[in-house]
Amino acid sequence: MTDDAATAPTCLARGLSGSVGDPGGRGADGRPRHAAALTFFWGPMDCGKSTMALQMNYNHARQGRRGLVTTRIDRSLGPQVTTRIGLAHTAIEVTDTLDLRTLVRQARDDGVRVDYLICDEASFYEVAHVEQMAELVDRYDVDVYAFGLATDFRSCLFPAAQRLFELADKVARIQVEVLCWCGREGLLNARVVDGEVVRSGAQVVIGDTVPTGQVRYQVLCRRHHRTGDLGGQ
Ligand SMILES: [Zn+2]
């Protein structure tokens, strides 16, 4: 496992150079020129995961590659990837019963090439979906780029994120700095209900960083996540 943002451009460059015009081709040494990979980009809220997901999709599409974008529980609560800086892209909503392999097979049956998948909000997927991602890489030569949170509001790994750490060819922490109110690096997502940090409850409760309802989330450093100090906000 690597934990190095520098892997992102390398991965992208490899994916682009290896697949265009010569899919499945082999080099002189007999090794596949293009070997698809499962990559997991992770970070706390507000670190730009969805923005990076859409940028990745744009970069690949510009090079003539074809892909699908999936999401689950996007902040818009609709079948699209939206970002806090205002970008949006239609996406396929991943339900409990959706099989990512079937999705790719059906697209190919319809004559749509699928070179890659962009899986946003992947920590909210089922573990089975992560297994399907790995199979898509290994058997279908589809690059899979998964983006998501690592940990929940209790600072425990989401099951799908854990499986991604276990299975991914590459793991990269997104390095866009998110700061706690104290100025330290923001690392963990706190769930705030009625102004208090809570530590029990369902793993996924929809809210946002904007305090529009009873539940909201706030990125804190480990120290202040531990003490529950919201800095008077
Ligand atoms: Zn802090």
In order along its 233 residues, the chain shows pLDDT tens digits of 444 444 433 333 333 333 334 445 665 666 555 689 999 999 988 788 888 899 999 999 999 999 999 999 766 667 788 887 778 888 999 999 999 999 999 999 999 999 999 999 999 999 999 999 999 999 999 999 999 999 999 999 999 999 999 999 999 998 767 899 999 999 899 999 988 999 998 888 876 655 555 888 999 999 999 999 999 75
Residues 121 and 56 in one domain: yes
Query: Is 201 a member of any domain?
Result: yes
Candidate list 93, 121, 166, 185, residue with the active-site label: 121
Residues 133 and 216 in one domain: no
Closest by alpha carbon to 202, among 159, 132, 160, 154?
A: 154
Write a three-state SS string for 41-56.
EECCCCCCHHHHHHHH
CA–centroid distance, 86 to ligand 1, in Å, is: 27
CA–centroid distance, 193 to ligand 1, in Å, is: 19
Residues 202 and 134 in one domain: no
Query: Is 1 a member of any domain?
Result: no
Would the annotation count 64 as a binding residue?
no
Residues 194 and 128 in one domain: no
Residues 96 and 142 in one domain: yes
| Domain harbouring 72, CATH code | 3.40.50.300
Angstrom distance (rounded) from CA 92 to CA 225: 33
Residues 102 and 11 in one domain: yes
Q: What is the pTM of this model?
A: 0.80
Residues 85 and 198 in one domain: no
Range of the domain at 73: 7-173
Active site residue 126: no
Number of domains in the chain: 2
| Residues, CB within 5 angstroms of ligand 1 (ion) | 180, 182, 184, 221, 224
Residues 46 and 157 in one domain: yes
